[in-house]
Protein backbone atom coordinates (compact mmCIF):
# COMPACT_ATOMS: atom_id res chain seq x y z
CA UNK A 1 0.00 0.00 0.00
CA UNK A 2 1.49 3.25 -1.09
CA UNK A 3 0.35 5.52 1.74
CA UNK A 4 -1.12 3.21 4.32
CA UNK A 5 -0.52 0.21 6.48
CA UNK A 6 -1.56 -3.41 6.35
CA UNK A 7 -2.10 -5.38 9.55
CA UNK A 8 -1.33 -9.10 9.24
CA UNK A 9 -2.10 -11.27 12.24
CA UNK A 10 -1.11 -14.78 13.26
CA UNK A 11 -4.06 -16.45 11.49
CA UNK A 12 -3.14 -14.84 8.17
CA UNK A 13 0.54 -15.80 8.54
CA UNK A 14 -0.51 -19.42 9.08
CA UNK A 15 -2.81 -19.33 6.04
CA UNK A 16 -0.10 -17.72 3.91
CA UNK A 17 2.21 -20.63 4.66
CA UNK A 18 -0.49 -23.23 4.00
CA UNK A 19 -1.69 -21.65 0.75
CA UNK A 20 1.53 -20.77 -1.03
CA UNK A 21 1.88 -17.06 -0.28
CA UNK A 22 5.62 -16.45 0.10
CA UNK A 23 5.61 -12.87 1.40
CA UNK A 24 3.37 -9.96 2.22
CA UNK A 25 4.22 -8.65 -1.25
CA UNK A 26 1.99 -11.44 -2.62
CA UNK A 27 -0.92 -9.99 -0.62
CA UNK A 28 -0.13 -6.45 -1.75
CA UNK A 29 -0.01 -7.60 -5.39
CA UNK A 30 -3.47 -9.19 -5.15
CA UNK A 31 -4.86 -6.06 -3.46
CA UNK A 32 -3.34 -3.62 -5.94
CA UNK A 33 -4.06 -5.51 -9.17
CA UNK A 34 -7.06 -7.70 -8.29
CA UNK A 35 -10.79 -7.16 -8.53
CA UNK A 36 -13.23 -6.76 -5.64
CA UNK A 37 -15.54 -9.76 -5.97
CA UNK A 38 -17.71 -9.02 -2.92
CA UNK A 39 -18.09 -6.59 -0.06
CA UNK A 40 -20.11 -6.45 3.11
CA UNK A 41 -20.54 -4.11 6.03
CA UNK A 42 -19.73 -5.64 9.43
CA UNK A 43 -22.14 -3.97 11.83
CA UNK A 44 -20.45 -5.47 14.90
CA UNK A 45 -17.03 -4.01 14.02
CA UNK A 46 -18.46 -1.04 12.13
CA UNK A 47 -16.25 -1.50 9.05
CA UNK A 48 -16.28 -2.79 5.49
CA UNK A 49 -14.88 -6.18 4.48
CA UNK A 50 -13.82 -6.87 0.89
CA UNK A 51 -12.92 -10.05 -0.96
CA UNK A 52 -10.29 -9.28 -3.62
CA UNK A 53 -9.38 -11.83 -6.29
CA UNK A 54 -6.25 -11.55 -8.40
CA UNK A 55 -2.76 -12.85 -9.07
CA UNK A 56 0.22 -12.82 -6.71
CA UNK A 57 3.78 -11.84 -7.65
CA UNK A 58 4.29 -15.18 -9.42
CA UNK A 59 1.05 -14.95 -11.38
CA UNK A 60 -0.81 -17.52 -9.24
CA UNK A 61 -4.48 -16.78 -8.64
CA UNK A 62 -5.39 -15.94 -5.07
CA UNK A 63 -7.97 -14.27 -2.86
CA UNK A 64 -7.45 -11.83 -0.01
CA UNK A 65 -10.18 -10.87 2.45
CA UNK A 66 -9.51 -7.52 4.09
CA UNK A 67 -11.27 -5.13 6.46
CA UNK A 68 -10.91 -1.37 6.20
CA UNK A 69 -9.91 -0.10 9.65
CA UNK A 70 -9.33 3.56 8.80
CA UNK A 71 -8.60 5.75 5.80
CA UNK A 72 -4.97 4.61 5.85
CA UNK A 73 -5.12 1.16 7.46
CA UNK A 74 -6.55 -2.23 6.64
CA UNK A 75 -6.42 -5.59 8.36
CA UNK A 76 -6.04 -8.76 6.34
CA UNK A 77 -8.57 -11.32 7.57
CA UNK A 78 -7.52 -14.36 5.54
CA UNK A 79 -6.02 -15.50 2.24
CA UNK A 80 -6.87 -18.41 -0.05
Q: What is residue 58's predicted lDDT score, i.e. its pLDDT?
A: 94
Where exactly are the structural domains of the chain? 5-79
Q: What fold does the segment set 5-79 form as a domain?
A: Nuclear Transport Factor 2; Chain: A, (3.10.450)
pLDDT value of position 64:
97
CA–CA separation, 46 and 76 (whole Å): 16
The confidence score (pLDDT) of residue 54 equals 97
Instruction: State the pLDDT at residue 4.
Output: 84
**In terms of pTM, does the model score above 0.85?**
yes
pLDDT less than 50: residues of the chain: none
Distance CA 48, CA 78 (A): 15
The phi and psi torsions of 50 (rounded to 5 degrees) equal -125, 140
Amino acid sequence: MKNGSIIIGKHVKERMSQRGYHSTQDIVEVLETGVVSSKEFDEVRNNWKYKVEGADTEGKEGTVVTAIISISSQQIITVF
